[in-house]
Amino acid sequence: MIRHTVAFRLKHAKGSAEERAFLSAADVLAKIPGVQKFEKLRQVSPKNEFSFGFSMEFADQAAYQGYNDHPEHTRFVKELWTPQVEKFLETDYERL
Amino acid sequence: MIRHTVAFRLKHAKGSAEERAFLSAADVLAKIPGVQKFEKLRQVSPKNEFSFGFSMEFADQAAYQGYNDHPEHTRFVKELWTPQVEKFLETDYERL
């Protein structure tokens, strides 16, 4: 199991229509083959600079790679993520 | 639900006995009242500087506060975490 997570902050104002639209559009990621346990999260700790998070799990590295290379993922990154995300941090976890 | 996660890097050498001892000692956190779904994780993405992670969930903010204030937690932080952890980042998530 690989748990891929990304914490991020948007360029949009908090509570804006643009923010809602971005978060809604991210649902497309949940439908990409191999994606399990897709979650959209609000980041609430004052100890970092991020406002949201996505989390998903893959059975193995091949499934993760298939997601990364999937045209719906690359389209999301190019057309929505890169233009609208101000800062982000990816972490990938495996169980110890 | 609040998911408290911390990504971290130890001062110890990778694969060292000190590393194993630290990770083993962290099991005490799982037994603190209110802690659910405690996980010890290996961080495998090259896109950040962390090597491990802990993840746990709390029913609500009161349970989270109870964990933070619990003497077993404060003892762990003082005696094990602070002396042995080189760098860390906390993120706390709620479901959107």
What is the DSSP-derived secondary structure letter of residue B18?
H
- pLDDT, average across residues B17-46: 98
Given this model, what pLDDT does residue B11 score? 98
Output the pTM of the full model. Answer: 0.96
pLDDT tens for each residue of B56-95:
999 999 999 999 999 999 999 999 999 999 999 999 999 9
In angstroms, the CA B93 to CA A5 distance is 11
User: What average pLDDT does the structure give for chain B?
Assistant: 98
Q: How far is CA A37 from the centre of its chain?
A: 12
Kindly indicate the confidence band of residue A21, based on its pLDDT and cuts at 50, 70 and 90. very high
The shares of helix, strand and coil residues in chain B, as percent rounded to the nearest 5, are 40, 35, 25
State the nearest Cα–Cα gap between A52 and chain B, in angstroms. 8
- pLDDT, average across residues A54-60: 98
Given this model, what pLDDT does residue A58 score? 98
- pLDDT, average across residues A11-29: 98
Q: Does A39 touch chain B (CB under 8 A)?
A: yes
Given this model, what pLDDT does residue B42 score? 98
Q: Which residue among A4, A50, A92 sits closest to B91, beta carbon to beta carbon?
A: A50
Q: Which residue among B4, B47, B91 sits closest to A53, beta carbon to beta carbon?
A: B91
Provide the strand spans (E) within chain B.
Answer: 2-10, 36-43, 52-58, 85-95
Contact residues on chain B for A40, CB-CB shorter than 8 A = 95-96
Answer whether A44 sits within 8 Å of B89, measured CB to CB: no
Provide the ipTM: 0.95
